[in-house]
Amino acid sequence: MNAPTKILVIAFLALAAETFACSVPVFRYALERWPADAYRMTIFARGALSDDQRTAVDAVRNAGEDGLVNLGVRVIDVTGQLTGVTAKLWAAQGKPDLPWVIVQYPVATEFEEPFEQGALDAKFVQRVLGSPVRREVGRRILQGESVVWVLLESGDKNQDDKVAKMLQAECKKLADLIEVPPVDPNDPRTDVNVTLKIAFSVVRLSRTNPDEQFLVKQLAHIQPRFAEAKGPLVFPVFGRGRALCGLTEDEITPDNIEQVAVFLTGACSCEVKAMNPGVDLLFSVDWDAALEGRAVKDPEMPPLVSLSQLAAEAKPPVKVEEAPAPKSQAAPLTRNLIIAIGLGIVVVVAGALLLRSNNRKQ
């Protein structure tokens, strides 16, 4: 979506919130009740994997199944007969050295083009599982921050510094102006181990940082225009690592920042995740354990050593209960907007008919 459409959508959802919502802020409802959509890792291999490779893959798969990372893994033997989407996916890879890994966005996004690929080795797995910026964003969210604004820098220091200064000023101003919505007795409970407050911060992300290339690609490929953009990009991240939208250079204005912040800190417009815009990012965070106050450590970054040692480091020390999966997959944003707008029209028409009926009775 372009900036006017994006802001119109957010404004509509904010208006709908006043009519249908509970009082729990969007960012907090998302943190407590919206499990992150799973990314898809496909490993193409010729025949069976070696013991080291299989151990590493199992460690990554176990981390996903245990709720430590929103990532699902499958291994495809290319010596077998491939059909349908899998066959097309493999054909598009050319003739890479095997095992070969590709990573795709969650099914809910309907983005089928892989945004990351490479040979199966320790460095690739390390890049996928986590990065300093993703760990920092997760830490801030779990400390109660409403929104973490991720600034994907352009590389022009003066330009990036200017945007960062404006964002930081807006964060301070909005934190002073916006208040937590009053609690309604009928609201869902929010008595988890994270303080409910209004707070914002900025994290800068360099496009050239070798440790952050996976996150850079995640953000840059959410929309084609992001990949083509030469200037800085800004992404508001909330909940369990969900990016609401992306703002390009000419869209990064105080007014747009304020509208996004007001929506995310306002009353939750809809309990259904699919009815809200945004794309989940891939995070290695045990959200449930942190919210429940159970002992949890940030996932250790796997060392650049042998795959056997990598698997031993990546395997979580304590098994935790997996968050229940949503009963239905998220729908594409366009369909969600049509449904939301339809609901709004129904409410307006019903109100008009009721008013007309009352006037006749008088």
Mean pLDDT for 155-178 is: 97
Please list the residues that pair with 151 across neighbouring strands: 204, 234
Q: Comparing C-alpha atoms, which of 238, 287, 232, 233 is closest to residue 261?
A: 238
Residues 301 and 51: beta-carbon distance below 8 Å: no
Q: How far is CA 283 from CA 260, 267, 299, 324, 341, in A?
A: 22, 25, 10, 17, 32
Residues 197 and 168: beta-carbon distance below 8 Å: no
333 part of a folded domain: no
pLDDT for the residue 191: 65
186 part of a folded domain: yes
Q: Comparing C-alpha atoms, which of 127, 306, 317, 153 is closest to residue 232?
A: 153
Number of domains in the chain: 1
Residues 140 and 192: beta-carbon distance below 8 Å: no
pLDDT for the residue 183: 73
Q: Which of these ranges, 155-159, 225-229, 304-308, has the smallest mean pLDDT? A: 304-308
Q: How far is CA 59 from CA 16, 56, 141, 282, 313, in A?
A: 43, 5, 26, 17, 9
Which residue did the predictor score with more confidence, 12 or 207? 207
By residue range, what is the domain housing residue 153?
A: 3-35+132-294
Which of helix, strand or coil describes residue 7?
A: helix
What DSSP state is assigned to residue 183? Answer: P
User: Which two tokens mark 303?
Assistant: 């060392």
Dihedral angle of Cα 92, 98, 99, 104, to the nearest 10 degrees: -20
283 part of a folded domain: yes
Mean pLDDT for 338-355 is: 44
Give the count of beta carbons closer than 10 Å to the beta carbon of residue 300: 14
161 part of a folded domain: yes
> Considering the entire predicted model, what is its pTM?
0.78
151 part of a folded domain: yes
* Distance (Å, whole) CA 15 – CA 105: 30
70 part of a folded domain: no
Residue 301 reports pLDDT greater than 70: no
66 part of a folded domain: no
Residues 286 and 322: beta-carbon distance below 8 Å: no
Q: Comparing C-alpha atoms, which of 46, 109, 51, 113 is closest to residue 75?
A: 46
pLDDT for the residue 82: 95
pLDDT for the residue 159: 97
Residue 313 reports pLDDT greater than 90: no
Please list the residues that pair with 42 across neighbouring strands: 74, 102
299 CB-side CA count, 13 A = 34
* DSSP alpha helix (H) spans, the chain: 3-20, 26-33, 51-65, 84-91, 122-129, 132-142, 157-177, 213-220, 224-228, 254-265, 287-292, 307-314, 333-361
Residues 247-276: tens digit of each pLDDT: 999 999 999 999 999 999 998 766 667 677
Q: How sure is the predictor about 327, in pLDDT bands with cuts at 50, 70 and 90?
A: very low
Please give the share of the chain, as a percent, with pLDDT higher than 70.
72
pLDDT for the residue 116: 96
Residue 63 reports pLDDT greater than 80: yes
* Distance (Å, whole) CA 321 – CA 295: 13
Average pLDDT, the chain: 80
Helical packing angle, 333-361 and 3-20, nearest 10°: 50
As a 3-state breakdown, the chain gives helix, strand, coil percent values, each rounded to 5, of: 45, 15, 40
191 part of a folded domain: yes
* Distance (Å, whole) CA 137 – CA 131: 10
